[in-house]
Each structure stands twice: as C-alpha cells, then as structure tokens.
Amino acid sequence: MGPTDFFETSAWACGFRRIAGLDEAGRGPLAGPVVAAVVVLPRRCSFEVLDDSKLLSADQRHALFVSISHHALDWGIGTASEHEIDELNILGATRLAGHRAIQDLDAPPDYLLLDALRIPTVCIHQRPVIKGDQLSVSIAAASILAKVTRDRIMEDYHERFPDYQFHLHKGYPTPEHLKRLQQFGPCAGHRRSFRPVQACLDSQHA
C-alpha cells in the first residue's frame, strides 16, 4: 500500500501544526558522508509511487525529488563527513546530520517523525517509527531527498577518486568496491573506522 499520512494526522489531531519527517541515507557504505533530510509537507499531500527510497528506481527517485522539493512547505539537508563518522561513530554522525538538516529549515518543526531514531540535541517532540520510510509519507519523502542528495555527492566523489567507481556502488561494500579497495588502498573519502577499510589499512602496515 505504501506510506500514508496516518502518523501526521495523529499529530495534527494532538494540536501540532508544523510536522516534519526525517530520514537518512548512507549508514552502511564504506565511503562518503551520511546524509539526512527533513521535510514538512502540507496536509493531505500525496505523491505517485512514493515509497521507501530503496524500493524505487533511480529515475523514480529523481522525479520524486523534484516533486517533493516543489510541493513541500519546507525542507532541509544535513550531512556528516566520513571524518566525523570516524570520530563520532555512525550513530552519532547520523544524529549530527539530522540536527544539521533541521537547522537547514526556514523554521523549526514542532513535531518530528523519524525512522527508528531519536535526536537528543533538539528540543522537539519526537516520534520514532519502526520502518517509518515505508509507513509515513513525510519520512518517505525525506528518504527520497536524502538518497538522491547522497547519490549526487558520491557521483562527485567518482570525479575526485575515479579508481573506486563510486558512481556505481555509492560507497557500499560491493564485490567490485572491495576489489578496488584492496587494489588501490583507501582514499581520503573512505571511512577509516569501518572494518573492511581498517583491515585494508592494517594489511598495508603489516
């Protein structure tokens, strides 16, 4: 059936008026930043084929990115770099990216729907929803903005580090990426704290 406005409607019924969905992309890759997006949609807003970004084609995601960014009342993007991921760990960096996405809004929301996450550094009423990107229209919209933004960043990484083919696998640990990691060693865009990258560094210094 896809995501609905059930959670948004419940928040409106409780008196909240500026309801945002937040989601991230890029927790699992070995390279590049983690990217969070936050979206404030108008009431009864719907998009054709909107779903969890991982279930859609690249063309569908790009079309939805244009539609969501045009129809949203407000939206913001935040990132945390691979260096911040190494320093904070991936959970801490994901929360940092989410905080930055909220700061990127024109005005803060009064209610935040998140995909099984809390951001303790913001004083906003929060409701984590398990599998939220498949259930909430706002979280699903945020997942699209985050995924498309991160994919574009990784295409830029391919221009900087062409040996690794980041435009194809987006930094995820595919067999091709792991082969190139072994062949060329980690680049400046890799996350040193992630096990395959750390193992590659250890083998270089053995």
What's the structural domain count of the chain? Answer: 1
pLDDT in tens, 21-55: 999 999 999 999 999 999 999 998 878 788 777 78
pLDDT in tens, 137-148: 999 999 999 999
pLDDT the model gives residue 123: 95
CATH value at residue 59: 3.30.420.10
| Alpha-carbon gap, residue 122 to 105, rounded angstroms | 13
| Alpha-carbon gap, residue 38 to 23, rounded angstroms | 7
pLDDT the model gives residue 56: 86
Q: Which two tokens stand for residue 140?
A: 């699903």
> In the 8-state DSSP scheme, what is residue 50?
-
What mean pLDDT is reported for the chain? 94
Q: Is 173 exposed, middle or buried (0-12, 13-18, 19+ CB in 10 A)?
A: middle
Please indicate, yes or no, if residue 40 is contained in any of the structural domains. yes
pLDDT in tens, 58-75: 999 999 999 999 999 999
- Please give the residue range of the domain that contains residue 69: 6-160
Residue type at position 25:
A
Other C-beta atoms closer than 10 Å to the C-beta of 104 total 16
